[in-house]
Amino acid sequence: MSGIALRNIRKAYPGGPTVLHDVSMEFHPGEFIVIVGPSGCGKSTLLRLIAGLERADAGEIEIAGIRANDLAPQDRDIAMIFQNYALYPHMSVRENISFGLELRGMPKAQRNRRAEEVARMLQLEPYLERKPGALSGGQRQRVAMGRAMARNTSTFLMDEPLSNLDNALRVAMRTEIKDLHRQLGATIVYVTHDQTEALSLADRVAVMKDGHLQQFDRPEVIYDRPANRFVAGFLGVPPINFVAAEKLPGWQGMQGLTAGLRPDILSVHAQKPAGPALEARLVLSEMTGSDLLLHCDSAAGRLTAIAPRRAMSDPAAQLWISYDLDRALFFDNDSGERVDLARDLRSIRTAEE
């Protein structure tokens, strides 16, 4: 097992924009790290730098305590799973899995045993002699994982490994990857633009935007205390509501703030409730299974609330929405940074009561 440290990594493509600006992170051995961000944020480039497929313009990459900037990919004790799997089309599944072992000089019998072992773990045994072209998307994905696992490396890099699968398979593979991580105990660096994958898989999540690291922390912290407006907006389904804080009835705090209200801290009432609430007009209600998503227009702007379907069998057109200001997030309008107001607010509340 080995940790990875990135220090002030900078990368620009020749003639192109800078894709990474002074990114620094440290991954502990055995950690499951997810790097998440919209496309073009530099997350894949970062992964390729760790793999050794690209060179950093500045900064330091350290793997297992050793400076790795100048190490070739094959000397980094790292395996990688590519977005489109990159299976060798002219080789059978067995050859795909054992190719890396062959290049490292493992004798054939031993190689075959290892390939079969890995195939058993991934339920690929019946397909060992097939070519990738004769496999389904999910099976190819498994072969890609098998190829990475065969070498017993201490670090796995995964570049959107589930993005080509349909939804049901994606959910199933997500569980399997998590399970594999537990079994192998290896460090995993996983790149995705899917926030559900980020929150459900990671020990720690790195959120990136435009080549800058926005926040790097445990998923709960990222969700509950996002560093800025971008992080708050990027993670969470349905997405957080942003409204000008002054427009919230009962608001007595400072000016120039945006309030972030996650749908689950909003409550919907048919009559005006006690305490601060917004009057709203229902625009659209979406059924999501056990819950209803209620999109409403209010004096503060468009708000999306979530309510249990059973309690809201037939939402009226005119509603009242109350909110739990203790759980609301506040962001500076100019910088976008989150402002910690919890203590102030509590005192305002007590004064009211």
Partner 1 sequence: MKPENPVVAVLSLVVGLLFLSPVLYSIWMSFQTADAFYAGRVTFTLDNYERAVGQFNFARYLLNSLIVSGLVTVLGITVATLAAFAFARFTFRGGDLLFGATVATLMIPSHISLIPNYLTLAKVGLLDTYAGLILPAISNGFAAFFLRQYIRGIPKALDEAAYMDGASPLTVLWRIIVPLSKPAIASMALYIFITEWNNYIWPLVAVGRQDLYTLQIGLARLYKINPGEGLVDWPLVMAASTITILPVLAGFLFVERHLVRGITMGAGK
Tell me which residues touch partner 1 (CB under 8 A): 51-53, 72-74, 78-80, 82-84, 86-90, 99-100, 103-104, 147, 151
* DSSP count for the chain of H helices, then E strands: 9, 19
User: At closest approach, how far in Å is the CB of 215 from partner 1?
Assistant: 29
Query: How many angstroms separate the CA atoms of 112 and 90, rounded?
Result: 18
Residue 111, H or E segment: helix 108-121
User: At closest approach, how far in Å is the CB of 54 from partner 1?
Assistant: 10
Would you say 79 or 177 has its CB closer to partner 1?
Answer: 79
Cα dihedral: 264, 269, 273, 279 (round 10): 90
User: At closest approach, how far in Å is the CB of 48 from partner 1?
Assistant: 8
Would you say 67 or 90 has its CB closer to partner 1?
Answer: 90
User: At closest approach, how far in Å is the CB of 86 from partner 1?
Assistant: 4
Is the distance from CB of 189 to CB of 27 less than 8 angstroms? yes
User: At closest approach, how far in Å is the CB of 4 from partner 1?
Assistant: 15
Would you say 74 or 318 has its CB closer to partner 1?
Answer: 74
76 token code pair? 């980094």
Would you say 88 or 249 has its CB closer to partner 1?
Answer: 88
Q: Which residues pair with 267 in a beta bridge?
A: 322
Would you say 108 or 281 has its CB closer to partner 1?
Answer: 108
User: At closest approach, how far in Å is the CB of 82 from partner 1?
Assistant: 5
What is the chain's Cα-based Rg?
A: 24
Would you say 102 or 179 has its CB closer to partner 1?
Answer: 102
Query: How many angstroms separate the CA atoms of 49 and 56, rounded?
Result: 7
Residue where the block lists tokens 């800078």: 18
- CB count within 10 Å of CB 82 equals 17
Is the distance from CB of 199 to CB of 188 less than 8 angstroms? no
> Pick from 220, 215, 223, 243: which is nearest to 331 by CA?
243
